[in-house]
Amino acid sequence: MNLRQLRYFCEVVEAGSAALAAKRLFVAPTAVSMQLTQLEEHLGETLFDRSRRPMELTSLGKYFYPRAKELLSQARRLDEEARGIATGNRGWLGIGFVRSALFSILPTAIKRFRETFPDVHLDLVEVLSEYQPEQLYQGRIDLGISRFIGRFEQATDLNYKFVLEESFLAAVPIDHPLAQQSSVSAIEFASLPFILYPKDPKSPFGQQMVSVLREAGASPVVAHEAIEIHTALALVGAGLGGTLVGRSIAVNNRADVAFVPVHDIEESAAVVAITRKEEENKLVASFLETLAYPQSA
């Protein structure tokens, strides 16, 4: 199966016949028929019911047509973007980010970057911190925005730039008594069931938050595990417990969750930008400059 076969197939569907499709494609009708036959042989089933006039799509054809259209559209976009990058008219920058960055530094950074580089295609990839180095090595992303608690392992062939360090806040249901306090202790907060995130075997972040509470003398009980922070905060809003978040995440967040300082937690969370070492990339350097967050943690 190839793109020509998909294009000819879609043209036949839209034109209503192979003869009209051939005119639109500026090819001989036999060329269209040959491509359709090869495609059907590859799939092992017919795409058109040729016993009807005009011929109609079979069940397979009805399934295949919208997906073929989408694939052709993606191929055109890839061709346009690749040609633009090759000719220097456009650029491409892959950015990996943890979900919590959507609450804080990422939107502002993207807006600032766009003001300077409006024609650069930003490929945004949501990926946990622990998976970002592999994505950098593979060239899937050019810059990763990660979040860590305490010391973490740093690869010798990658650069790590600390963008933001911030204290923790307790996220509690808006109607819980703790929501009315100006601050809480770790022990007070641990009276709520703890909602751990992210739920992933490679990420120690959730268990590190539990350890932070224990170091402050609390005994948190993990009641729920969420794949990512949006789900964790939704569970808090539903009254199922509480969790910890970085201070920047509380800005313009959910109305059903209160964010309260925890006055006896000393540990903080760090947002770190990761890039490949010894690689000169003007776009990466420019995006790094936009990541400075104006609010102190």
**276 — alpha (psi -120 to 50), left (phi > 0) or beta?**
beta
What tens digit of pLDDT does each residue of 175-228 get? 999 999 999 999 999 999 999 999 999 999 999 999 999 999 999 999 999 999
What pLDDT is attached to residue 251? Answer: 78
Domains 3-87 and 168-267 share a fold: no
Q: Is 94 helix (H, G, I), strand (E, B) or coil?
A: strand
Q: Where are the alpha helices (DSSP H) in the chain?
A: 3-15, 18-25, 29-43, 59-87, 105-116, 132-138, 186-189, 205-215, 229-237, 282-290
Cβ(224)–Cβ(198) under 8 Å? no
Nearest to 221 by CA among 194, 242, 187: 194
Amino acid in position 102 = L
d(Cα 44, Cα 61) in Å, to the nearest integer? 12
Supply the angle between the helices 18-25 and 3-15 in degrees, to the nearest 10.
120
Q: Where are the domains of the chain?
A: 3-87, 91-165+270-290, 168-267
Measured distance CA(167)–CA(263) in Å, rounded:
10
Count CA within 13 A, CB hemisphere, residue 214.
9
CATH topology for 168-267? D-Maltodextrin-Binding Protein; domain 2 (3.40.190)
**Which of the following CATH numbers is that of domain 91-165+270-290: 3.40.50.1100, 3.40.309.10, 3.30.930.10, 3.40.190.10?**
3.40.190.10
Which residue from 274, 235, 271 is spatially nearest to 99, judged by alpha carbons?
A: 271
Give the pLDDT of residue 55.
86
> In whole angstroms, what is the distance from residue 56 CA to residue 17 CA?
10
| Distance between CA atoms of residues 59 and 46, nearest Å | 9
Which residue shows structure tokens 């170091």?
Answer: 215
pLDDT at 296: 40
Nearest to 124 by CA among 139, 141, 109: 141
Structure token digits, residue 50: 């040729």
CATH number listed for the domain at residues 3-87: 1.10.10.10
What pLDDT sits at residue 85? 66
Q: Which pLDDT value is given to residue 233?
A: 96
Low-confidence ranges of the chain (pLDDT < 70): 84-90, 293-297
* Per-residue pLDDT at 250: 85
CA torsion angle 169 171 174 176 (round to 10): -100
Which residue bears the tokens 């009254």? Answer: 239
Return the pLDDT at 84: 67
pLDDT of 172? 97
**Measured distance CA(242)–CA(152) in Å, rounded:** 25
Total-model pTM: 0.68
Strand pairing category for 168-173 and 257-261: antiparallel
